[in-house]
Amino acid sequence: MAIDKNLVQGSMGLMILRLLEEKDMYGYQMIETLRSKSNNVFELKAGTLYPLLHTLENKGYLTAYEDTSSGKIRKYYHLTPSGKKQVKEKKQEWELYQTAVTNVLNFAGGGI
Amino acid sequence: MTYEEYMRTLEEQVVNKRAKHFIRQEFENHIEEQAMYYETEGMDKESALKEAVRQMGDPVKTGQELNKIHRPKFPVCLFALAFTLTISGICMQGIIFSHGKTGQNFINAHDTWILLPNYLINTILYNSLGLILIIGILYFNYNYFVKYILGLYGMYLCAIIAGHYLIRSYGIYWTYNYFLWMVYPLLFAGLLYRFRNRGIKGIFLCECLTLLVFFVKIMFPGMAVFSGATMESWLVITIILFLAVYKEIFGTKNVKLFAAASLIVIPPVSFFLLSLLGKFPVYYMKRLTALLSFFSSANPEGEAFYLINHLRENISQYAFIGGHTLPDYINFTELYSNYMVTSVFSWFGIIPGLIILTLFALFCFHALRTSLRQNNRLGMMLGSACSISILVRILAYVLSNFGFGPYTTISIPFFTYGLLSSLINAVFVGIIMCVYRNSSILKEECF
């Protein structure tokens, strides 16, 4: 089942930051990891990912560096301390939102 | 859409050339990786590339989004402060100088009379050249600085040796020596970045290269081995080394890295301990004691402290506004170079003096904040080296102008007279502004 784009958009930044909490990654690797971790639910396009990564970098949540150890130049993204703080805050926010939505959806007296 | 069409359309949306370059590189790599994956899944090369391009999405929308992010930013606040301080410096120097002939007791009256007609024109010219240099540096790709850092380091060592053999005038050597020490923190910041991600080994390399500078200076001393400028330089490099460790330039920060960085304090601390134990030669002990006396709150006795005792006594005599006097115990040529703050407080009064000091404080604050906030670690290191260097020199300059520091040459931006001083300070200010301007369009590169 395809998921509404608007539903995904708001949480994409959080998911990217969370992935980078594990290790530094380059763009293609992030798309692949996100796809496998979400059981093929999130199929992010590069055209959406890179502007998002560059915005997060401008906000100071990420830093980027080039690495040639694989034989080609790859741009890796690294989570900054400010980014780590952001993940923590956004995760709490998301959990609160998720609980609230679940509570409303499971509201027993709400059925017609 | 073909690969070439996609890349061309994407690049057309991005205005800035530098941003175009790294965006192209990142997208090319991505398409290449994606196409390789499709090939491993059984597609032929052409179809794999076509599918990889299709997966990229709309190049117009993506390019426009990226263009919004990657634009050069003009450092309005820093530039406004720099411009205000430059104009204030020129006006104040001009006013002070035009009144210098009215009853002041000059030590070198003859020199002063020779300098009078050219002084204002020169200071306007030097500051204008400095301003042009700042604007020029705004467009500089500072990645090149690190690309050639080892060559620059070699040239620096050659400059120390050349000074030893070629300069025969004490005055010229003193100035040359001062500016050599003044630029070393900038070079050191480049070295720190050059040996980034190398852990303790990287820190040791930077420390050894610094030790080599000191060693070469001792071997080829010219007419002055160390001076106040050496202490300023050492203080700045110590601060930026710890900053580099804190900002994880050498890897995740830990106690070992901080311990390795602490080795930089061994030479001065050992000098201090040796002096406490009385193991220092008598001459150096006396010089060290005299140096510490310059910073003591009690008025020290002796001919060497004549100037600082006068400067301290003068503080209580400054008027709130105005005053229209200039200290007659300072050589007039020093008043508009090494003692501009004293001149401003004496001639214009406490309130205008405090306004100038506030402007300097604001400039340092903005410069340091701008530098420390950079995501580009090279930009952060270079900007911080320049900001901290300016801050340390301004503090030393202001303290010495109030009689709390030795009588020595200290060059600060906007207010000290001289072509070399204006240009080198312009390089420092220009680099800070360049780092700010390029914060979203210059990325870290592999060297």
State how far residue B149 is from chain A, nearest Cα, in angstroms. Answer: 18
Listed by number, the residues of chain A in 79-98 with a beta carbon closer than 8 Å to a beta carbon of chain B are 80
Question: Which of B87-96, B196-205, B289-298 is the least confident region?
Answer: B289-298
Q: Which two tokens stand for residue B153?
A: 């380091």
Tens digit of each residue's pLDDT (9 = 90 or more) over B333-385: 777 778 889 989 988 999 999 999 999 999 999 999 999 988 888 999 999 99
Please report the pLDDT score of residue A65 as a whole number: 83
Please report the pLDDT score of residue B149 as a whole number: 96
Mean pLDDT across chain B: 86
| Mutate which: B1, B20, B21, B30, vs A, most A CBs within 10 A | B30
Domains and CATH numbers, chain A: 11-102 (1.10.10.10)
- DSSP states along B353-399: HHHHHHHHHHHHHHHHHHHHT-SSHHHHHHHHHHHHHHHHHHHHHHH
CA–CA distance from A41 to each of A73, B12, B130 (Å)? 29, 32, 58
For the cut 60, the answer to whether the pLDDT of residue B10 exceeds it is: yes
Residue bearing tokens 């032929």: B44
Nearest to B445 by CA among A50, A24, A65, A77: A65
For the cut 80, the answer to whether the pLDDT of residue B399 exceeds it is: yes
Tens digit of each residue's pLDDT (9 = 90 or more) over B322-331: 877 778 777 7
Tens digit of each residue's pLDDT (9 = 90 or more) over B84-143: 999 998 888 887 777 655 444 444 444 444 455 577 788 889 999 999 999 999 999 898
Its ipTM equals: 0.83
Tens digit of each residue's pLDDT (9 = 90 or more) over A97-107: 889 988 888 87
Contact B30 A51 (CB under 8 A): no
Contact B440 A55 (CB under 8 A): no
Tens digit of each residue's pLDDT (9 = 90 or more) over B352-361: 999 999 999 9
